[in-house]
Amino acid sequence: MSHILVVDDEPALLRTLRINLQARHYSVLTAATGQQALDSAGQAPPDAVLLDLGLPDFDGVDVIEGIRSTLAVPIIVLTGRADIADKLRAFDAGADDYVTKPFVMDELLARLRAVLRRPAEPEPLPQTRIGPNAVDLVAGTITGPDGPIRLTPTEWKILALLLADPGRLVPGQRILTEVWGPDAANHSNYLRVFFSSMRRKLEPDPARPRHLITEPGIGYRFRP
């Protein structure tokens, strides 16, 4: 039985979600505030989280980051915010999927099943180099000639996928689906933005990348 934490400040929606999830044999805990969500996740780590962004005490993105700091569980954002900027902030903080209210219950449950059965990310080499930069994936650090280099959580996810299979092509759609969720499969603009940022941080000459390689129209690869 999977344990689901549902976080929303609408009592009627919490009740509806709890009833529907329990009817499908999930164990359910609910929280109406960000603090309650963080406390609950710390005391009884869930198998997945359904999270509203508009909470009375914290912004939902802060809750995502709080959960992500200690747990790797799937997080599905369930919110009325449909703006692309809100979606990018949520995904960058570590959300796995994004569902906009109003929603169809069967679709939400299908997305929940999808994230629960998603295999663990492949294990990349714990230490490697990208040009002059030393990458320690266990410690989550990158050290360049001038000191530490900071990546966002989303950039780390993308980099881990590439480093797990050095030299091999990783299809763009696979990166989009694994990092942002199935709805992002056609949003190749996400990848252009993030790869541009990663190259500025990691490539000696971002305009002529030697390690984070684009295969136009197909995908990306890490060239050691």
Query: pLDDT tens-digit profile of 188-217?
Result: 888 999 999 999 999 999 999 999 999 888
- Look at residue 120 in the predicted model and tell me its pLDDT: 53
> 184: pLDDT confidence band, cut at 50, 70 and 90?
confident
pLDDT for 88 equals: 85
Residues in the chain, how many?
A: 224
pLDDT above 80: residue 182: no
- Flag whether pLDDT at 77 surpasses 70: yes
Task: Provide mean pLDDT across the span 82-88.
Answer: 86
Residue located via tokens 């009592």: 11
| Residue 119: predicted pLDDT | 60
- How far is Cα 87 from Cα 15, in angstroms, rounded to an integer? 25
Residue among 196, 219, 199, 194 nearest 210 (CA): 199
pLDDT tens-digit series, residues 121-179: 554 456 789 999 999 877 889 999 999 999 998 999 999 889 888 888 888 888 988 88
| % pLDDT > 90, the chain | 56
Quick: pLDDT tens for 92-127.
Answer: 888 889 999 999 999 999 999 988 886 655 544 567
For 32-114, where are the E strands, in sequence order? 48-51, 75-79, 97-100
Report the predicted TM-score, pTM, of the whole model to 2 decimal places.
0.59
Strands (DSSP E) along the chain, which ranges? Answer: 3-7, 27-31, 48-51, 75-79, 97-100, 127-130, 133-136, 141-144, 147-149, 170-171, 212-215, 219-222
pLDDT, one tens digit per residue, over 16-46 is 999 999 999 999 999 999 999 999 998 889 9
